[in-house]
């Protein structure tokens, strides 16, 4: 067996293996499933993958260091969960930070003057290409006309609540809040506050992982929100 001690830089990336063939298994409104036959250093293997457009989420924090969360029903898990405002990257050509700003307005009725990248993560890299970027939004103000009535079904009624950042961190660690964007975003915000908000990335920071997914054909290139209706 070769040496399995990694001596290179600790950063995600590093290339891919050749795809021998691809079979489409399912084409849905949001994501698709395909089966790839892959040449893995001479070993031919098959892998099923979910091709996902990706998403953004927003940890909005007010002047009292409270986090804005919304209560939303999620059919795949058959229950309500508390999440930050979020949405799919489902509008062709729209920059992720613009999607985040739009989703904050649509799901909470708020806008923010100050934006930063908070944290990036891959939701389920063993089976899905979904990449998520979470933004930090501060210096908030309500839209004069309130939350616009957009979306359907689960998005028609989105009760919101404000939770002190310290309490939100405790809710995550206790298991009371378990949605991935809430867990990652709240813990990242709590960590950044502990270091005086230093080290935050600019709102338009390049997203290397998403760029890689686009190059590798792991994101629907012609996806557009109109396909959802």
Q: Is 155 a catalytic residue?
A: yes
Q: How many CB atoms lie within 10 A of CB 43?
A: 8
**Of these residues, 46, 155, 166, 216, which one is catalytic?**
155
Q: Are the beta carbons of 86 and 99 closer than 8 angstroms?
A: no
- Which position has the token pair 């992982």? 209
Q: Are the beta carbons of 1 and 13 closer than 8 angstroms?
A: no
Q: Are the beta carbons of 111 and 143 closer than 8 angstroms?
A: yes
Q: What does the buried/exposed string (b/e) look like for 186-197 if buried means 16 or more CB atoms within 10 Å of the residue's CB?
A: bebbbebeeeee
Side-chain-facing half-sphere of 36: CA atoms under 13 Å: 18
Helix, strand, coil percentages, rounded to 5, for the chain: 25, 35, 40
Catalytic residue positions, numbered: 155
């Amino acid at each position: 067996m070769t040496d399995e001690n990694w001596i290179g830089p600790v950063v995600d990336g590093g290339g891919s293996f050749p795809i021998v063939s691809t079979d489409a298994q399912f084409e849905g409104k949001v994501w698709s499933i395909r089966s790839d036959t892959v040449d893995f250093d001479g070993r031919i293997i098959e892998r099923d993958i979910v091709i996902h457009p990706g998403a953004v989420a927003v940890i909005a924090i007010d002047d009292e260091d409270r986090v804005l969360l919304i209560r939303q029903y999620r059919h795949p898990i058959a229950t309500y969960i508390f999440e930050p405002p979020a949405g799919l990257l489902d509008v062709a050509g729209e920059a992720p930070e613009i999607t985040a700003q739009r989703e904050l307005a649509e799901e909470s009725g708020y806008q923010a003057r100050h934006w930063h990248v908070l944290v990036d993560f891959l939701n389920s890299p063993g089976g899905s290409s979904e990449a998520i970027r979470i933004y930090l939004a501060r210096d908030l103000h309500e839209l004069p006309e309130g939350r616009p009535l957009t979306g359907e079904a689960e998005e028609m009624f989105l009760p919101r609540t404000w939770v002190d950042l310290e309490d939100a961190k405790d809710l995550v660690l206790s298991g009371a809040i378990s949605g991935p964007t809430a867990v990652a975003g709240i813990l990242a915000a709590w960590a950044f506050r502990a270091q005086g908000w230093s080290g935050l990335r600019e709102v338009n920071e390049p997203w290397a992982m998403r760029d890689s997914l686009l190059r590798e054909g792991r994101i629907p290139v012609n996806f557009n929100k109109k396909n959802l209706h």
